Amino acid sequence: MQTNDSGTSQRKSGSTISDINRKTGRNMPQAIATAVVLIALLVAVMLIRIDLLMWVIVVFMLLALWELRVDFAVIDLHIPVVALWLCCAATLIATFYAPMHVTTSSLCIAVSVVIVAIAATHRHGMNVFLSRQVAGKDKQERTKNGQESSPGGNTCAPCESDGKGTASSLVRDSSVMRNVAVSVFVVLYIAAFASCIILPLTFGRHPVAHAIMVIFLPALSDTGGLLVGAWLGKHKLSPRISPKKSYEGLAGSMVFAAVGALVVFLVTYRQYWSDLWWVPIVIGMVVGFVGTFGDLCASMIKRDIGIKDMGHLLKGHGGVMDRVDSILLCAPFFTLILWLLGL
């Protein structure tokens, strides 16, 4: 009898976990385990030395760039990943260590845009050169084997559209512009937004509190949206783009983020509470809104590419980009709020 009861309880437990996984759209046990490991790592790094956190962020962004390289290649878009690695790392390191942090960050991003655009053009030119070499070698081999002779004995050299290569040239120009455009987009999306994660670490006398808000509040907002959406979600936010998102989940995201910001402000800025009581509410609304719609934008990009996740490095979460997309999009707003308030 006890064996039957045990088997029944195990089946119910398995059914419950399956239901939770189905509602949330992810493997929750794996997601929770991965989240615990990441939180422990980040908290340990923050408490040891704040500059170590900067290096962890650099590593995560380099991994994110590799994921984007693979994802864009699926739809025949190619980014110069080595140039992006160098520019992104240099921008983040200079933003943290150099004086005049905001000015340094802006200059590095501007220079990175130019370097990456040139690298994307050069990379495309190398690809075209290689393709021509391969085509020429293939033509020589086919000529040797007599495969280019026409039935009348005349050989016909391969021609491009109108004999002047106009159509082929237009295709190449279009391709190189697409690669340059997506490469510049990646600079702004990764290097520029990630520098806004670094900048709050250089503000004021409370870098750990700033780091907690910039990194953990978007994650807390995601958790609130996930839990409230799975529990109460009935009114879909955007069924076509992301069927799991709901207005109830959006409200949960805002509430969770506001509560988290409230706790940080009470601990860190208690002496300014009478003047800054409204700031956690604003932060909660901004993080909940921007994080949710940032996820929708990421979902649109993934839908256009034809993939479900950006990668598979983080079990239960997908790739690095799947975890940091809302953090990246919220970071500029955090930076602006902290800078305007002089915190």
Q: How many domains does the chain have?
A: 1
The DSSP 8-state label assigned to residue 149 in this structure reads B
Place of tokens 């004086």: 99
Inside any domain, residue 221: yes
Spatial distance between the Cα atoms of 122 and 133, rounded to a whole number of angstroms: 16
Inside any domain, residue 246: yes
The DSSP 8-state label assigned to residue 189 in this structure reads I
Which of these, 63, 72, 70, 84, lies nearest to 320 by C-alpha position?
63
Q: Are 222 and 253 in contact (CB under 8 A)?
A: yes
Inside any domain, residue 22: no
**Rounded alpha-carbon distances, angstroms, from residue 206 to 210, 211, 269:** 6, 9, 9
Instruction: Looking at mean pLDDT, say which of 5-19, 86-100, 300-314 comes out highest.
Output: 86-100
**What integer is the mean pLDDT of 7-33?**
59
Inside any domain, residue 61: yes
**What integer is the mean pLDDT of 121-134?**
54
Quote the percentage of the chain above a pLDDT of 90: 25
Inside any domain, residue 8: no
Task: State the pTM of this model.
Answer: 0.74
**What integer is the mean pLDDT of 27-38?**
74
Inside any domain, residue 151: no
Segments forming the whole domain that contains residue 318: 27-128+168-341
Inside any domain, residue 133: no
Higher pLDDT, 284 or 122: 284
Inside any domain, residue 20: no
| 260-272 pLDDT per residue, tens | 999 998 888 888 8
- What lies within 8 Å, CB to CB, of 88 at 6+ separation is 58, 61, 62, 65, 112, 187, 190, 191, 194
| 139-185 pLDDT per residue, tens | 555 665 655 444 444 444 444 444 445 544 444 556 788 889 999 99
